[in-house]
């Protein structure tokens, strides 16, 4: 992989060893205080859902409806971000708790967990920001790099991005179908199997939020229905905001296949760092983001319990300063401004900066990528 020109191979290797030391220290220290943390989050999420759904059944009384929608939104954000996303990364497998098992966890989302783990845990975290390999770069519909071909439909991508934000869980659900591969190296039969699983999961979600709970409310059917819709919308918008601010700020770097061929561990760490960005904020803000406000640390150590990112971030930043590596962090307003700038800039035609390898070239996943 390409590296900042001031770094030697020895520098990159030592950089990797220093990050390995941080990871080993934290992972060897996991214990009861970590278990207490995630159990507290689980209780908060569950109580918020129960209270939110109960308040929505009080009808269109503004205080009750607003409070119910807010609590249900909180529940869905916590479940998707701090619980579901992180559980499926294997962050809590060490507890041997069936409720936190990455192999069996199914989240409150229209995307089947096994498909999400392939598109996210493997494809995205292994090939982070590598054009044509990491399908999270634009989610197959947005142009986020000069290295991606420009097409006329990209002129509308500000509207496309806003639509994706509002219906983000549905974009995630369809993501692993990889429709652009159909008729090439993916069969329609394979896609049909995936589509059946998506339909089964999405149907359960729709029936739960838009039929079952509203029906249980009887005469309060409409307030419950609208509250559930608003809570899902809030969760979608928040998730989109956090994820895009962690991956597509103006300073985030993109890579081609040649730069990621036969990476060393230090080079892989370096790509994860340069391809991510952090958000500053309060402790509640970090929890609501699933600690993806520490996207840099998450990409360096995706199987580390998320609340530990707060502890190690200053150490990671200090290492970056010593090596002269950009540690991309800032408040939400600044980082989102960078995202908007990138979306707008990439909606217009630009010449490609570099050429990717030929179709016959391959990128070898690092042997340690499975842990990611």
Cβ burial, residue 227 (10 Å; 0-12/13-18/19+): buried
Task: Report which of 238, 227, 175 is spatially closest to residue 54, judged by C-alpha positions.
Answer: 227
pLDDT in the model for residue 258: 83
pLDDT profile of the chain (372 residues), mean per 10: 72 97 98 98 98 91 94 98 98 97 96 95 94 90 92 95 96 89 87 95 96 95 96 98 96 88 92 97 98 98 98 98 96 97 93 41 39 38
Domain ranges across the chain: 9-371
303: phi then psi, degrees, rounded to nearest 5: -100, 10
* Cα–Cα distance for residue pair 232/176, rounded to 1 Å: 21
DSSP 8-state class, residue 183: T
353 contact partners, CB below 8 Å, separation of at least 6: 146, 147
Tell me, rounded to whole angstroms, the distance of Cα 130 from its chain centroid. Answer: 16
DSSP 8-state class, residue 326: -
Record the pTM: 0.91
State the virtual CA torsion across 13, 17, 19, 24 in degrees, nearest 10. Answer: 150
**How far, CA to CA in Å, does 133 sit from each of 120, 137, 184, 355?**
12, 9, 15, 14
pLDDT in the model for residue 355: 37
DSSP 8-state class, residue 166: H
327 contact partners, CB below 8 Å, separation of at least 6: 273, 278, 296, 316, 317, 320, 321
pLDDT in the model for residue 184: 86
């Amino acid at each position: 992989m390409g590296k900042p020109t001031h770094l030697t191979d020895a520098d990159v290797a030592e950089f990797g060893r220093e990050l390995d030391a941080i990871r080993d220290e934290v992972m060897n220290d996991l214990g009861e205080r970590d278990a207490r943390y995630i159990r507290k989050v689980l209780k908060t999420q569950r109580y918020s859902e129960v209270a939110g759904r109960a308040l929505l059944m009080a009808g269109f009384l503004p205080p009750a409806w607003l409070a119910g929608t807010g609590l249900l939104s909180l529940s869905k954000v916590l479940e998707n971000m701090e619980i579901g996303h992180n559980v499926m990364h294997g962050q809590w497998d060490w507890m041997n708790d069936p409720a936190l098992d990455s192999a069996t966890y199914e989240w409150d989302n229209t995307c089947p967990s096994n498909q999400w783990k392939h598109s996210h845990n493997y494809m995205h975290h292994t090939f982070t920001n590598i054009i044509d390999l990491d399908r999270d770069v634009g989610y197959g519909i947005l142009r986020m790099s000069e290295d991606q071909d420009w097409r006329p439909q990209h002129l509308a991508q500000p509207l496309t991005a806003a639509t994706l934000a509002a219906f983000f869980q549905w974009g995630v659900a369809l993501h692993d179908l990889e429709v652009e591969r159909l008729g090439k190296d993916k069969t329609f039969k394979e896609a049909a199997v995936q589509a059946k699983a998506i339909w089964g999961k999405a149907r359960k979600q729709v029936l739960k939020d838009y039929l079952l709970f509203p029906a249980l409310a009887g005469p309060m059917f409409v307030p419950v229905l609208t509250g559930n819709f608003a809570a899902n919308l809030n969760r979608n918008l928040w998730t989109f905001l956090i994820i895009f601010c962690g991956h597509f700020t103006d300073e985030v770097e993109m890579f081609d296949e040649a730069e990621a061929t036969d990476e060393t561990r230090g080079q892989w760490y370096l790509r994860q760092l340069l391809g991510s960005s952090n958000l500053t904020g309060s402790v509640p803000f970090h929890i609501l983001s699933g600690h993806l406000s520490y996207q840099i640390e998450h990409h360096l150590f995706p199987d580390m319990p998320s609340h530990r990112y707060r502890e190690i971030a200053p150490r990671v930043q200090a290492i970056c300063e010593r090596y002269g590596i950009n540690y991309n962090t800032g408040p939400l307003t600044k980082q989102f401004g960078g995202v908007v700038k990138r979306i707008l800039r990439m909606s217009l035609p630009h010449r490609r900066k570099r050429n990717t390898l030929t179709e016959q070239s391959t990128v070898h996943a690092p042997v340690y990528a499975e842990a990611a």
